[in-house]
Amino acid sequence: MWVGMAVILLASFFLGTFALPSKYIRNYAWENTWGAFFLVGMLVVPVGFAALALKGLGSLYAQVPGGILAGVLALGFLWGCGFCLWGRGLALMGLSIGYALTMGTMALCGSMLPFFLGHADRAGTPGGLVVIAGILICIVGVAINGIAGMKRERASQAQAAAGMGRKRLLAGVFVCILAGLFSSCCNIAYHVGGSLGRIDALAVEPYGNPPWLGGLAVWTLIFLGGWVSSFGYCVIQLCRNGTWKRYAVEGSGRNLVMASLMALGHFACLFFYGIGGWKLGELGTSVGFAVFQSGSILIGNGLGFMTGEWRQADRASKVALAAGITVLLLGIVVVSVGNFIQ
């Protein structure tokens, strides 16, 4: 269990840091940066790695029921939609508020739904109650971190979210919550393909792949579904806004390298999350996902401190941040205890 938790925290590190290279991208529109990211991160890297690492991948999928395959691909498609909506929500609401709303919704749906889909009969047991309590504590921690971010924005910016037009504010809230709901489909797809469809187990027997690599067969389908919607949306925006030509600007080579580094970091976070979830067993997609999301916020805030994002924040913002981190750590401990009881 502790090995699984450690691997999931490693995945959290990559989730909390994968977007850092975007700070060094210049003269690109949103669709330029994320179009390159989606192409490399959702198609080239995951599919290429799976083709090299897994034996019998095509034959494996031929044995999976069509309904499972379609379900995983469809949920992956919705995940890609959520990724794009998240980018638009951040533009409407700002980083801290948009991140809090999206990640809060994603943590709630992405961790609770797999638990009740596969383990509803355990919800009333001592271990199940502790797991549910731990997940809820993690979600509260996510919310407190969002409040800390909003306090920081109010202290450092002349225009806070409360000063937005009512229609823009409501639109931003709706987009961010919808982004969180769709983004949680990534974890639900992994639960459907692994825990219900047993694609990961099929990759091991009879094809002889290592058990820790079995989940990659599920992730490949999720990435393919997500690539169709996310990259497709970027292509539409590139055509609509005429921003294809920005790929030829000075420094474009550096920009593409930065986008590729983002893609590698993002693939690493989900790859290691899959291994950690496998080590945690049947509750990997519920308990593991809560720890995964919470750990990424802890790491993201730590990087924020290191890069000076909180230097101008007032005392109230820092107190709220410390409280949120404490609650997240408590939630991780509680879900660990609940998983041990289970």
Q: What is the pLDDT along the chain (342 residues), one digit of tens a residue?
A: 778 788 888 888 887 778 778 878 899 998 999 899 999 999 999 999 998 989 888 888 988 899 999 999 999 999 999 988 887 776 666 555 566 667 667 766 766 666 666 666 666 788 778 878 877 887 787 777 667 766 766 665 544 444 545 566 667 778 888 888 898 888 889 888 887 888 988 888 778 888 878 888 998 999 999 999 999 999 999 999 999 999 999 899 999 999 999 999 989 988 888 888 777 766 666 667 777 767 776 776 666 667 666 677 778 877 887 887 788 778 767 776 776 676
pLDDT given for residue 191 in this prediction? 82
Please name which of 5, 35, 49 lies closest in space to residue 271, comparing C-alpha atoms.
49
Rounded CA gap, 253 and 258, in Å?
9
* Local structure of residue 19 (DSSP, 8 states): T
Please name which of 227, 202, 225 lies closest in space to residue 213, comparing C-alpha atoms.
202
Rounded CA gap, 216 and 199, in Å?
9
Rounded CA gap, 64 and 213, in Å?
17
pLDDT given for residue 304 in this prediction? 64
Rounded CA gap, 72 and 68, in Å?
6
pLDDT given for residue 167 in this prediction? 64
Rounded CA gap, 187 and 291, in Å?
13
pLDDT given for residue 162 in this prediction? 47
Per the CB < 8 A criterion, the answer to whether 286 and 119 are in contact is yes
pTM (2 d.p.): 0.75
pLDDT given for residue 236 in this prediction? 95
Helices in the chain by DSSP H: which ranges? 2-17, 30-39, 45-53, 57-62, 66-93, 95-119, 126-156, 166-183, 185-190, 199-204, 215-241, 252-280, 287-306, 315-341
pLDDT given for residue 238 in this prediction? 96
pLDDT given for residue 314 in this prediction? 77
pLDDT given for residue 286 in this prediction? 62
pLDDT given for residue 223 in this prediction? 93
At 65, which helix (H) or strand (E)? none
Per the CB < 8 A criterion, the answer to whether 82 and 182 are in contact is yes
pLDDT given for residue 196 in this prediction? 81
pLDDT given for residue 43 in this prediction? 94
